[in-house]
Structure 1
Amino acid sequence: MKLGTFLRQVTELPVRGLDAFGSGGLVVVAPHPDDESIGCGGTLARCTAEGRPVAIIVVSDGSASHPASRSHPRTRLRRLRETETLAAVEQLGVPPRAVHFLALPDQFVPSAGPEASRAGRAVADIADGIGASAICAAWHHDPHRDHQASFAIVELAMRMRPGRLLAYPVWGWTLPRSTELDKGPLAGFRIDIGPYQAAKHAAIAAHHSQHGRIIVDDPDAFRLEADLLVHVERPHEVFLEISA
């Protein structure tokens, strides 16, 4: 399946309630600080409003977004991005105790080896802690190595704690339409986030450093651009079924 076909078919996925995640809690694994808000912000807000336990696991420390900044070297930027994440989830109604930072190195998240295994164990333990019935990972087709490595870490966690694995696209929306994806039919569902779109927008905006605010001494730094943000204006968030 090519991305162009995927983009057409994804609008036909069924709209489900939170029961689509099963009867337990929901774990969202974010490769970087901000992916939780971009990919799942509305769903997290809805879960919290409806009393479903959630946990957010931020895999990388986010400290490579402004590599040339002198005002915000990696240690300071890491602290800033953690602070922004906590401010973002507050907009979603998620308590700070539900957020877990693995602090793996931005751009160098491991997909295998001892460090990846420790991260997988952490994901499994956190999922156990809230009685999770589903773990949501960033899509393995997202064109960023940290996203792909984070997906691999979640796969390791599923070997330690078998369960339901779902994927949510972030950067995958922006791939060329000719990109080849998985073979076979598209499976998954959409969650209606209409009443929570304003909270999601506020959460994304809370990641000030990623919008070109605060840090002004690295003009070539990463910035959230309109070609991605246009996709988060949708009134639904997409979750794709991943086969074991």
Structure 2
Amino acid sequence: MRADAFLEAAAALPVRSLRDLVASGGIVVVAPHPDDESLGCGGLIAEASACGIPVRLVVVSDGVGSHPNSPSHPPARLRTLRESETLAAAAALGLAPDHVAFLRLPDRFVPACGPEAEAAAVAIAAAARSCGAGALFVTWEHDPHCDHAASAALARRARALLGGVPLYAYPVWGWTLPPEAEVGPPPRGARLAIGRHRARKAAAITAHRSQTTDLIADDPGGFRLELAMLARFAGEHEIFLEVAP
């Protein structure tokens, strides 16, 4: 199926409650970079927190690839900044800092296989066991970013380690795919209504100041989320795609 038709169909998936998506237990959100959790799953995390459903957040990469040439923010300082932003975002969504894990794999070079990947999958599975997770959530395998695709592979491996719990994918950069890109069968899954959490989600995204403002202004090639991209995630629903076993 072409990406344009797939994403149009995904945006029209039926609206379901969180407990329709996850019948019991907690949830684990796997974010390739600090900020993906707020963009794609901010409403999900806020809804789970409001309903007393345990949540664990696993951030896969160290995030230092966003501003690789900044004199003021060399890698160690940038990693610390991005992790502090993530904890602030998590707090805005109702998630405690001890429920956030940072795997610190190299940004732009997250492995999809090998010993480091296996260790990351084991860590994701451990987070799932710690909250009795009934489902995992990770970025879509067709997102056009190598770390997003690798994180999807890590989550699939974690699912196998857990005995096959449900796995859902959330598109982030998938919305920027060329219309003619082939992405497989039609989407299955649901939309989650997050209207009552939009302010909290917006606050979480804003907490990632290094990605949404000119906080780091000394790297001409530094990354910044564009307004059009931010608008994509400011709506009334979040989309979660079923990932087949």
Tell me the TM-score normalised to structure 2 length.
Answer: 0.97
- Alignment of 1:231 onto 2:232: yes
1:216 is matched with 217
1:86 is matched with 87
- Contact 1:32/1:61 (<8 A) preserved: yes
Once the two structures are superposed, the pairs formed by residues 33-48 of structure 1 within 5 Å of their partners are 33-48=34-49
Structure 1 counterpart of 2:171, one-letter code: P
- Contact 1:85/1:206 (<8 A) preserved: yes
Structure 2 counterpart of 1:173, one-letter code: W
1:6 is matched with 6
- Alignment of 1:75 onto 2:73: no
Question: Take 1:173 and 1:203, find their aligned partners in 2: how far apart are those partners?
Answer: 21
Q: CA offset at residue 182 of structure 1?
A: 1.0
Question: Helix, strand or coil: the match of 2:233?
Answer: helix
Query: CA offsets, 1:67-95, max 9 Å, x none?
Result: 11010000100000000000111111111
Question: Helix, strand or coil: the match of 1:100?
Answer: strand
In structure 2, stretches of 5+ residues that fail to align are: none
Q: CA offset at residue 43 of structure 1?
A: 0.9
Question: Helix, strand or coil: the match of 2:58?
Answer: strand
Structure 1 counterpart of 2:180, one-letter code: S
Q: CA offset at residue 227 of structure 1?
A: 3.1
Structure 1 counterpart of 2:153, one-letter code: A
- Contact 2:32/2:148 (<8 A) preserved: yes
Structure 1 counterpart of 2:166, one-letter code: R
Q: CA offset at residue 104 of structure 1?
A: 0.5
The alignment yields a C-alpha RMSD, in angstroms, of 0.9
Question: Take 1:124 and 1:7, find their aligned partners in 2: how far apart are those partners?
Answer: 29
Indicate the percent of aligned positions where both proteins have the same amino acid.
53
Question: Take 1:233 and 1:84, find their aligned partners in 2: how far apart are those partners?
Answer: 19
Query: CA offsets, 1:28-76, max 9 Å, x none?
Result: 0000000000000011001101110000000000011101101000010
Structure 2 counterpart of 1:8, one-letter code: E
Q: CA offset at residue 167 of structure 1?
A: 0.3
- Contact 2:11/2:239 (<8 A) preserved: no
Q: CA offset at residue 175 of structure 1?
A: 1.2
Match for residue 169 of structure 1 among 168, 171, 185: 171
Question: Take 2:232 and 2:7, find their aligned partners in 1: how far apart are those partners?
Answer: 11
Q: CA offset at residue 230 of structure 1?
A: 2.0
1:180 is matched with 182
Structure 2 counterpart of 1:7, one-letter code: L
Q: Which moved more, 1:10-19 or 1:28-37?
A: 10-19
Question: Take 2:216 and 2:12, find their aligned partners in 1: how far apart are those partners?
Answer: 41
Q: CA offset at residue 153 of structure 1?
A: 0.8
Question: Helix, strand or coil: the match of 2:224?
Answer: coil
- Contact 2:9/2:187 (<8 A) preserved: yes
What stretches of structure 1 move > 3 A for 4+ residues in a row? none
Q: CA offset at residue 236 of structure 1?
A: 0.4
In structure 1, stretches of 5+ residues that fail to align are: none
Question: Take 1:214 and 1:38, find their aligned partners in 2: how far apart are those partners?
Answer: 19
Question: Take 1:175 and 1:186, find their aligned partners in 2: how far apart are those partners?
Answer: 16
Question: Helix, strand or coil: the match of 2:68?
Answer: coil
Question: Helix, strand or coil: the match of 1:110?
Answer: coil
Tell me the TM-score normalised to structure 1 length.
Answer: 0.97
Q: CA offset at residue 9 of structure 1?
A: 1.1
Question: Helix, strand or coil: the match of 1:78?
Answer: helix
Q: Which moved more, 1:105-114 or 1:229-238?
A: 229-238
1:57 is matched with 58
Question: Take 1:79 and 1:238, find their aligned partners in 2: how far apart are those partners?
Answer: 30
